[in-house]
Structure 1
Protein backbone atom coordinates (compact mmCIF):
# COMPACT_ATOMS: atom_id res chain seq x y z
CA UNK A 1 0.00 0.00 0.00
CA UNK A 2 1.39 3.43 -0.89
CA UNK A 3 2.21 5.63 2.08
CA UNK A 4 0.29 8.91 2.42
CA UNK A 5 1.66 11.71 0.30
CA UNK A 6 3.15 14.20 2.74
CA UNK A 7 4.28 17.72 1.98
CA UNK A 8 2.31 17.93 -1.28
CA UNK A 9 -0.07 20.66 -2.35
CA UNK A 10 -3.72 19.79 -2.96
CA UNK A 11 -3.12 19.96 -6.71
CA UNK A 12 -0.20 17.56 -6.40
CA UNK A 13 -2.27 15.21 -4.25
CA UNK A 14 -5.02 15.13 -6.87
CA UNK A 15 -2.48 14.46 -9.61
CA UNK A 16 -0.91 11.68 -7.56
CA UNK A 17 -4.25 10.04 -6.82
CA UNK A 18 -5.21 10.23 -10.49
CA UNK A 19 -1.94 8.59 -11.47
CA UNK A 20 -2.39 5.79 -8.95
CA UNK A 21 -5.97 5.23 -10.07
CA UNK A 22 -4.87 5.07 -13.72
CA UNK A 23 -2.34 2.37 -12.90
CA UNK A 24 -4.75 0.51 -10.62
CA UNK A 25 -7.53 0.55 -13.20
CA UNK A 26 -5.19 -0.66 -15.92
CA UNK A 27 -3.84 -3.55 -13.86
CA UNK A 28 -7.36 -4.65 -12.92
CA UNK A 29 -8.55 -4.41 -16.52
CA UNK A 30 -5.68 -6.67 -17.57
CA UNK A 31 -6.70 -9.17 -14.90
CA UNK A 32 -10.48 -9.17 -15.20
CA UNK A 33 -11.80 -6.56 -17.65
CA UNK A 34 -13.29 -3.14 -17.01
CA UNK A 35 -16.90 -4.23 -16.54
CA UNK A 36 -15.97 -6.76 -13.84
CA UNK A 37 -13.88 -4.21 -11.95
CA UNK A 38 -15.48 -2.12 -9.20
CA UNK A 39 -14.65 1.38 -8.03
CA UNK A 40 -13.80 -0.03 -4.59
CA UNK A 41 -11.27 -2.44 -6.14
CA UNK A 42 -9.65 0.36 -8.08
CA UNK A 43 -9.37 2.43 -4.93
CA UNK A 44 -7.92 -0.42 -2.89
CA UNK A 45 -5.40 -1.30 -5.59
CA UNK A 46 -4.36 2.37 -5.74
CA UNK A 47 -3.95 2.46 -1.95
CA UNK A 48 -7.01 4.52 -1.05
CA UNK A 49 -9.93 3.71 1.21
CA UNK A 50 -13.33 2.87 -0.22
CA UNK A 51 -14.78 5.87 1.62
CA UNK A 52 -12.26 8.25 0.05
CA UNK A 53 -12.89 6.93 -3.46
CA UNK A 54 -16.66 7.09 -3.00
CA UNK A 55 -16.51 10.60 -1.53
CA UNK A 56 -14.34 11.92 -4.34
CA UNK A 57 -15.83 10.09 -7.31
CA UNK A 58 -19.07 8.38 -6.33
CA UNK A 59 -18.90 5.68 -9.00
CA UNK A 60 -16.59 3.77 -11.29
CA UNK A 61 -17.94 5.71 -14.27
CA UNK A 62 -17.04 8.98 -12.54
CA UNK A 63 -13.51 7.69 -12.03
CA UNK A 64 -13.36 6.90 -15.73
CA UNK A 65 -14.66 10.35 -16.69
CA UNK A 66 -12.11 12.06 -14.45
CA UNK A 67 -9.22 9.96 -15.68
CA UNK A 68 -10.02 10.69 -19.30
CA UNK A 69 -10.68 14.38 -18.80
CA UNK A 70 -7.75 15.20 -16.54
CA UNK A 71 -5.17 12.57 -17.41
CA UNK A 72 -5.65 10.62 -20.63
CA UNK A 73 -6.80 13.39 -22.96
CA UNK A 74 -4.05 15.77 -21.88
CA UNK A 75 -1.26 13.23 -22.19
CA UNK A 76 -2.54 11.71 -25.44
CA UNK A 77 -2.53 15.09 -27.15
CA UNK A 78 -0.58 14.78 -30.39
CA UNK A 79 -0.72 18.44 -31.43
CA UNK A 80 1.75 18.97 -34.30
CA UNK A 81 4.92 20.91 -33.63
CA UNK A 82 4.64 24.51 -34.82
CA UNK A 83 6.29 25.01 -38.19
CA UNK A 84 6.59 21.28 -38.92
CA UNK A 85 6.24 20.09 -42.50
CA UNK A 86 3.36 17.91 -43.58
CA UNK A 87 5.10 14.56 -43.24
CA UNK A 88 6.25 15.38 -39.70
CA UNK A 89 2.66 16.29 -38.83
CA UNK A 90 1.39 13.02 -40.30
CA UNK A 91 3.90 11.12 -38.19
CA UNK A 92 2.87 12.88 -34.98
CA UNK A 93 0.32 10.19 -34.04
CA UNK A 94 3.07 7.52 -34.02
CA UNK A 95 5.64 9.87 -32.48
CA UNK A 96 3.37 10.56 -29.50
CA UNK A 97 3.17 6.84 -28.71
CA UNK A 98 6.97 6.62 -28.90
CA UNK A 99 7.27 9.60 -26.55
CA UNK A 100 4.73 8.21 -24.08
CA UNK A 101 6.49 4.86 -23.96
CA UNK A 102 9.80 6.57 -23.21
CA UNK A 103 8.24 8.86 -20.59
CA UNK A 104 5.98 6.38 -18.80
CA UNK A 105 5.69 2.74 -19.79
CA UNK A 106 2.98 1.99 -17.22
CA UNK A 107 0.79 4.81 -18.45
CA UNK A 108 1.25 3.72 -22.07
CA UNK A 109 0.11 0.23 -21.15
CA UNK A 110 -2.91 1.69 -19.33
CA UNK A 111 -3.92 3.69 -22.39
CA UNK A 112 -3.88 0.74 -24.73
CA UNK A 113 -5.40 -1.81 -22.38
CA UNK A 114 -8.40 0.51 -22.25
CA UNK A 115 -8.24 1.01 -26.02
CA UNK A 116 -8.50 -2.72 -26.63
CA UNK A 117 -11.22 -3.02 -24.00
CA UNK A 118 -13.21 -0.61 -26.20
CA UNK A 119 -13.74 -3.25 -28.91
CA UNK A 120 -16.86 -4.36 -27.06
CA UNK A 121 -19.91 -2.50 -28.30
CA UNK A 122 -21.09 -2.04 -24.70
CA UNK A 123 -17.78 -0.71 -23.42
CA UNK A 124 -18.06 2.64 -21.60
CA UNK A 125 -14.74 3.72 -23.12
CA UNK A 126 -15.75 2.94 -26.71
CA UNK A 127 -16.93 6.42 -27.71
CA UNK A 128 -13.90 8.09 -26.12
CA UNK A 129 -11.47 5.83 -27.94
CA UNK A 130 -13.36 6.37 -31.18
CA UNK A 131 -12.98 10.12 -30.69
CA UNK A 132 -9.26 9.76 -29.98
CA UNK A 133 -8.64 7.63 -33.08
CA UNK A 134 -10.81 9.88 -35.23
CA UNK A 135 -8.88 12.92 -34.07
CA UNK A 136 -5.58 11.18 -34.73
CA UNK A 137 -6.68 10.21 -38.23
CA UNK A 138 -7.72 13.80 -38.92
CA UNK A 139 -4.24 15.01 -37.92
CA UNK A 140 -2.61 12.42 -40.18
CA UNK A 141 -4.81 13.35 -43.13
CA UNK A 142 -4.18 17.06 -42.65
CA UNK A 143 -0.44 16.37 -42.50
CA UNK A 144 -0.47 14.33 -45.69
CA UNK A 145 -2.39 16.98 -47.58
CA UNK A 146 -0.07 19.67 -46.28
CA UNK A 147 2.89 17.47 -47.24
CA UNK A 148 1.67 17.19 -50.80
CA UNK A 149 1.58 20.98 -50.91
CA UNK A 150 4.94 21.60 -49.23
CA UNK A 151 6.80 18.80 -50.99
CA UNK A 152 7.54 16.59 -47.98
CA UNK A 153 5.11 13.87 -49.14
CA UNK A 154 5.53 12.12 -52.48
CA UNK A 155 3.07 12.83 -55.27
CA UNK A 156 0.38 10.35 -56.26
CA UNK A 157 -0.39 8.79 -52.90
CA UNK A 158 -3.93 7.72 -52.03
CA UNK A 159 -4.50 10.06 -49.08
CA UNK A 160 -7.37 8.05 -47.61
CA UNK A 161 -5.45 4.76 -47.76
CA UNK A 162 -2.29 6.39 -46.40
CA UNK A 163 -4.26 7.97 -43.56
CA UNK A 164 -5.69 4.59 -42.56
CA UNK A 165 -2.22 3.04 -42.76
CA UNK A 166 -0.44 5.62 -40.63
CA UNK A 167 -3.21 6.22 -38.10
CA UNK A 168 -3.85 2.55 -37.35
CA UNK A 169 -0.56 0.69 -37.96
CA UNK A 170 0.67 1.46 -34.47
CA UNK A 171 -2.27 -0.39 -32.93
CA UNK A 172 -1.06 -3.71 -34.29
CA UNK A 173 2.41 -3.09 -32.92
CA UNK A 174 1.07 -2.11 -29.51
CA UNK A 175 -1.30 -5.09 -29.42
CA UNK A 176 1.66 -7.45 -29.67
CA UNK A 177 3.39 -5.58 -26.83
CA UNK A 178 0.27 -5.86 -24.63
CA UNK A 179 -0.05 -9.55 -25.48
CA UNK A 180 3.61 -10.52 -25.04
CA UNK A 181 4.52 -7.99 -22.33
CA UNK A 182 8.05 -6.63 -22.28
CA UNK A 183 9.45 -9.57 -24.24
CA UNK A 184 8.21 -7.64 -27.29
CA UNK A 185 10.47 -4.58 -27.87
CA UNK A 186 7.85 -1.87 -28.35
CA UNK A 187 10.27 1.02 -28.77
CA UNK A 188 12.20 -0.79 -31.51
CA UNK A 189 9.00 -1.89 -33.26
CA UNK A 190 7.54 1.62 -33.21
CA UNK A 191 10.71 3.17 -34.57
CA UNK A 192 10.82 0.53 -37.33
CA UNK A 193 7.23 1.40 -38.15
CA UNK A 194 8.13 5.08 -38.28
CA UNK A 195 10.98 4.41 -40.70
CA UNK A 196 8.70 2.31 -42.90
CA UNK A 197 6.11 5.10 -43.04
CA UNK A 198 8.80 7.60 -44.03
CA UNK A 199 10.11 5.24 -46.73
CA UNK A 200 6.60 4.75 -48.12
CA UNK A 201 5.44 8.36 -48.15
CA UNK A 202 8.36 10.78 -48.23
CA UNK A 203 9.09 12.55 -51.50
CA UNK A 204 12.10 10.65 -53.00
CA UNK A 205 14.24 13.78 -53.39
CA UNK A 206 13.82 14.40 -49.65
CA UNK A 207 14.44 10.85 -48.46
CA UNK A 208 15.90 11.53 -45.06
CA UNK A 209 14.92 11.10 -41.42
CA UNK A 210 12.06 13.49 -40.73
Structure 2
Protein backbone atom coordinates (compact mmCIF):
# COMPACT_ATOMS: atom_id res chain seq x y z
CA UNK A 1 0.00 0.00 0.00
CA UNK A 2 1.49 3.31 -1.10
CA UNK A 3 0.41 6.81 -0.21
CA UNK A 4 -0.49 8.77 -3.33
CA UNK A 5 1.45 11.98 -2.81
CA UNK A 6 0.14 15.01 -4.62
CA UNK A 7 2.50 17.73 -5.91
CA UNK A 8 1.33 19.86 -2.97
CA UNK A 9 2.23 17.06 -0.54
CA UNK A 10 5.74 16.89 -1.99
CA UNK A 11 6.13 20.67 -1.87
CA UNK A 12 4.92 20.81 1.74
CA UNK A 13 7.25 18.01 2.80
CA UNK A 14 10.20 19.89 1.34
CA UNK A 15 9.23 23.09 3.14
CA UNK A 16 8.79 21.18 6.39
CA UNK A 17 12.21 19.58 6.00
CA UNK A 18 13.79 23.00 5.40
CA UNK A 19 12.26 24.40 8.61
CA UNK A 20 12.32 21.24 10.70
CA UNK A 21 14.34 22.55 13.66
CA UNK A 22 12.39 25.82 13.96
CA UNK A 23 9.07 23.97 13.83
CA UNK A 24 10.20 21.49 16.47
CA UNK A 25 11.42 24.24 18.80
CA UNK A 26 8.21 26.29 18.47
CA UNK A 27 5.96 23.28 18.97
CA UNK A 28 7.94 21.99 21.96
CA UNK A 29 7.81 25.41 23.65
CA UNK A 30 4.10 25.75 23.04
CA UNK A 31 3.36 22.21 24.22
CA UNK A 32 5.31 22.72 27.42
CA UNK A 33 3.37 25.88 28.21
CA UNK A 34 0.02 24.33 27.39
CA UNK A 35 0.78 21.24 29.47
CA UNK A 36 1.41 23.51 32.47
CA UNK A 37 -1.94 25.20 31.82
CA UNK A 38 -3.64 21.80 31.66
CA UNK A 39 -2.20 20.88 35.06
CA UNK A 40 -3.78 24.00 36.57
CA UNK A 41 -7.08 23.18 34.89
CA UNK A 42 -7.01 19.70 36.41
CA UNK A 43 -6.52 21.29 39.84
CA UNK A 44 -9.64 23.37 39.25
CA UNK A 45 -11.61 20.30 38.16
CA UNK A 46 -10.49 18.26 41.18
CA UNK A 47 -11.26 21.15 43.54
CA UNK A 48 -14.84 21.22 42.29
CA UNK A 49 -15.19 17.44 42.47
CA UNK A 50 -13.88 17.28 46.05
CA UNK A 51 -16.27 20.03 47.19
CA UNK A 52 -19.21 18.32 45.51
CA UNK A 53 -18.31 15.18 47.45
CA UNK A 54 -18.07 17.18 50.68
CA UNK A 55 -21.53 18.59 50.01
CA UNK A 56 -22.91 15.10 49.32
CA UNK A 57 -21.57 13.78 52.63
CA UNK A 58 -22.94 16.79 54.50
CA UNK A 59 -26.36 16.37 52.91
CA UNK A 60 -26.57 12.87 54.39
CA UNK A 61 -26.25 14.33 57.89
CA UNK A 62 -27.79 17.81 57.74
CA UNK A 63 -31.27 18.68 58.94
CA UNK A 64 -33.98 19.26 56.33
CA UNK A 65 -34.33 23.04 56.93
CA UNK A 66 -30.64 23.54 56.03
CA UNK A 67 -30.64 21.37 52.92
CA UNK A 68 -31.65 24.13 50.48
CA UNK A 69 -28.54 26.24 51.09
CA UNK A 70 -26.21 23.24 50.97
CA UNK A 71 -27.79 22.04 47.74
CA UNK A 72 -27.26 25.52 46.32
CA UNK A 73 -23.55 25.31 47.16
CA UNK A 74 -23.34 21.88 45.57
CA UNK A 75 -25.00 23.14 42.37
CA UNK A 76 -22.60 26.10 42.30
CA UNK A 77 -19.64 23.73 42.39
CA UNK A 78 -21.26 21.62 39.67
CA UNK A 79 -21.58 24.72 37.49
CA UNK A 80 -17.92 25.52 38.11
CA UNK A 81 -17.01 21.93 37.27
CA UNK A 82 -18.76 22.38 33.90
CA UNK A 83 -16.75 25.56 33.27
CA UNK A 84 -13.39 24.02 34.17
CA UNK A 85 -14.20 20.84 32.26
CA UNK A 86 -15.00 22.84 29.12
CA UNK A 87 -11.75 24.78 29.46
CA UNK A 88 -10.04 21.41 29.85
CA UNK A 89 -11.63 20.12 26.65
CA UNK A 90 -10.36 23.19 24.79
CA UNK A 91 -6.85 22.80 26.21
CA UNK A 92 -6.73 19.06 25.52
CA UNK A 93 -7.85 19.58 21.92
CA UNK A 94 -5.19 22.23 21.43
CA UNK A 95 -2.47 19.98 22.86
CA UNK A 96 -3.60 17.04 20.72
CA UNK A 97 -3.55 19.07 17.54
CA UNK A 98 -0.05 20.39 18.28
CA UNK A 99 1.19 16.87 18.98
CA UNK A 100 -0.22 15.65 15.67
CA UNK A 101 1.32 18.65 13.92
CA UNK A 102 4.66 17.80 15.48
CA UNK A 103 4.35 14.15 14.44
CA UNK A 104 3.42 15.09 10.88
CA UNK A 105 6.22 17.62 10.52
CA UNK A 106 8.92 15.40 11.99
CA UNK A 107 7.87 12.07 10.51
CA UNK A 108 9.67 10.81 7.41
CA UNK A 109 8.06 7.37 7.30
CA UNK A 110 4.99 7.23 5.03
CA UNK A 111 3.25 4.54 7.07
CA UNK A 112 3.66 6.48 10.31
CA UNK A 113 2.49 9.65 8.60
CA UNK A 114 -0.69 7.92 7.42
CA UNK A 115 -1.32 6.60 10.94
CA UNK A 116 -0.91 10.08 12.40
CA UNK A 117 -3.20 11.62 9.79
CA UNK A 118 -6.03 9.18 10.42
CA UNK A 119 -5.60 9.53 14.20
CA UNK A 120 -5.79 13.32 13.83
CA UNK A 121 -9.01 13.00 11.82
CA UNK A 122 -10.56 10.82 14.54
CA UNK A 123 -9.39 13.16 17.29
CA UNK A 124 -10.99 16.14 15.53
CA UNK A 125 -14.23 14.20 15.07
CA UNK A 126 -14.36 13.25 18.77
CA UNK A 127 -13.10 16.47 20.37
CA UNK A 128 -15.27 18.76 18.25
CA UNK A 129 -18.36 16.83 19.45
CA UNK A 130 -17.23 17.15 23.08
CA UNK A 131 -16.66 20.88 22.65
CA UNK A 132 -20.08 21.47 21.09
CA UNK A 133 -21.77 19.55 23.91
CA UNK A 134 -19.84 21.19 26.75
CA UNK A 135 -20.14 24.74 25.38
CA UNK A 136 -23.88 24.17 25.01
CA UNK A 137 -24.06 23.50 28.75
CA UNK A 138 -22.18 26.74 29.45
CA UNK A 139 -24.61 28.76 27.33
CA UNK A 140 -27.51 27.25 29.30
CA UNK A 141 -25.71 28.10 32.57
CA UNK A 142 -25.09 31.71 31.54
CA UNK A 143 -28.65 32.20 30.28
CA UNK A 144 -30.05 30.93 33.57
CA UNK A 145 -27.67 32.43 36.12
CA UNK A 146 -26.23 35.49 34.34
CA UNK A 147 -28.78 36.58 31.70
CA UNK A 148 -27.09 39.99 31.34
CA UNK A 149 -23.71 38.45 30.46
CA UNK A 150 -22.81 39.19 26.85
CA UNK A 151 -22.45 35.78 25.21
CA UNK A 152 -22.49 37.05 21.62
CA UNK A 153 -18.77 36.32 21.01
CA UNK A 154 -19.04 32.94 22.69
CA UNK A 155 -22.07 31.97 20.60
CA UNK A 156 -20.41 33.19 17.40
CA UNK A 157 -17.32 31.04 17.95
CA UNK A 158 -19.46 28.04 18.89
CA UNK A 159 -21.39 28.58 15.66
CA UNK A 160 -18.09 28.47 13.74
CA UNK A 161 -17.22 25.21 15.48
CA UNK A 162 -20.61 23.70 14.66
CA UNK A 163 -20.28 24.76 11.01
CA UNK A 164 -16.77 23.33 10.81
CA UNK A 165 -17.94 20.00 12.23
CA UNK A 166 -20.96 19.92 9.93
CA UNK A 167 -18.79 20.57 6.87
CA UNK A 168 -16.11 18.03 7.82
CA UNK A 169 -18.17 15.29 9.48
CA UNK A 170 -18.54 13.12 6.38
CA UNK A 171 -14.77 13.03 5.78
CA UNK A 172 -13.85 12.68 9.44
CA UNK A 173 -16.43 9.98 10.08
CA UNK A 174 -15.38 8.00 7.00
CA UNK A 175 -11.76 7.89 8.17
CA UNK A 176 -12.77 7.14 11.77
CA UNK A 177 -15.22 4.34 10.91
CA UNK A 178 -13.42 2.75 7.96
CA UNK A 179 -9.71 2.73 8.87
CA UNK A 180 -9.10 4.03 12.41
CA UNK A 181 -11.49 3.42 15.32
CA UNK A 182 -13.13 0.71 13.19
CA UNK A 183 -12.16 -1.17 10.05
CA UNK A 184 -14.25 -1.63 6.93
CA UNK A 185 -14.89 -5.27 6.04
CA UNK A 186 -13.75 -4.56 2.49
CA UNK A 187 -9.95 -4.36 2.46
CA UNK A 188 -10.00 -2.48 -0.82
CA UNK A 189 -12.04 0.28 0.81
CA UNK A 190 -9.48 0.54 3.60
CA UNK A 191 -6.61 0.76 1.11
CA UNK A 192 -8.38 3.33 -1.06
CA UNK A 193 -9.05 5.63 1.90
CA UNK A 194 -5.55 5.22 3.33
CA UNK A 195 -3.81 5.87 0.02
CA UNK A 196 -5.73 9.10 -0.42
CA UNK A 197 -4.88 10.64 2.94
CA UNK A 198 -2.85 13.68 1.90
CA UNK A 199 -0.45 15.56 4.15
CA UNK A 200 -1.51 18.95 2.80
CA UNK A 201 -5.19 18.22 3.52
CA UNK A 202 -4.42 17.05 7.05
CA UNK A 203 -2.27 20.08 7.86
CA UNK A 204 -4.92 22.48 6.53
CA UNK A 205 -7.63 20.67 8.51
CA UNK A 206 -5.60 20.92 11.72
CA UNK A 207 -4.83 24.61 11.12
CA UNK A 208 -8.50 25.42 10.54
CA UNK A 209 -9.53 23.50 13.67
CA UNK A 210 -6.80 25.06 15.81
CA UNK A 211 -7.91 28.54 14.74
CA UNK A 212 -11.40 27.83 16.06
CA UNK A 213 -10.01 26.23 19.24
CA UNK A 214 -7.91 29.32 19.96
CA UNK A 215 -10.92 31.58 19.45
CA UNK A 216 -13.02 29.33 21.67
CA UNK A 217 -10.41 29.43 24.42
CA UNK A 218 -10.47 33.23 24.34
CA UNK A 219 -14.26 33.26 24.55
CA UNK A 220 -14.53 30.67 27.34
CA UNK A 221 -11.80 31.93 29.67
CA UNK A 222 -13.74 34.97 31.05
CA UNK A 223 -16.57 32.66 32.11
CA UNK A 224 -14.35 31.53 35.00
CA UNK A 225 -15.24 34.83 36.68
CA UNK A 226 -18.93 33.99 36.37
CA UNK A 227 -18.16 30.72 38.13
CA UNK A 228 -16.53 32.61 41.00
CA UNK A 229 -19.54 34.91 41.28
CA UNK A 230 -21.81 31.88 41.25
CA UNK A 231 -19.93 30.45 44.25
CA UNK A 232 -19.93 33.80 46.04
CA UNK A 233 -23.68 34.06 45.64
CA UNK A 234 -24.21 30.52 46.91
CA UNK A 235 -21.96 31.01 49.94
CA UNK A 236 -23.62 34.31 50.82
CA UNK A 237 -26.85 32.45 51.52
CA UNK A 238 -27.43 31.66 55.19
CA UNK A 239 -28.54 28.39 56.65
- Which structure is higher in helix share? 2
Q: Determine which structure has more spread, i.e. the larger CA radius of gyration.
A: 2
TM-score (structure 1 length as normaliser): 0.31
TM-score (structure 2 length as normaliser): 0.28
If asked which structure has higher relative contact order (CA below 8 Å, sep 6+), I would say 2
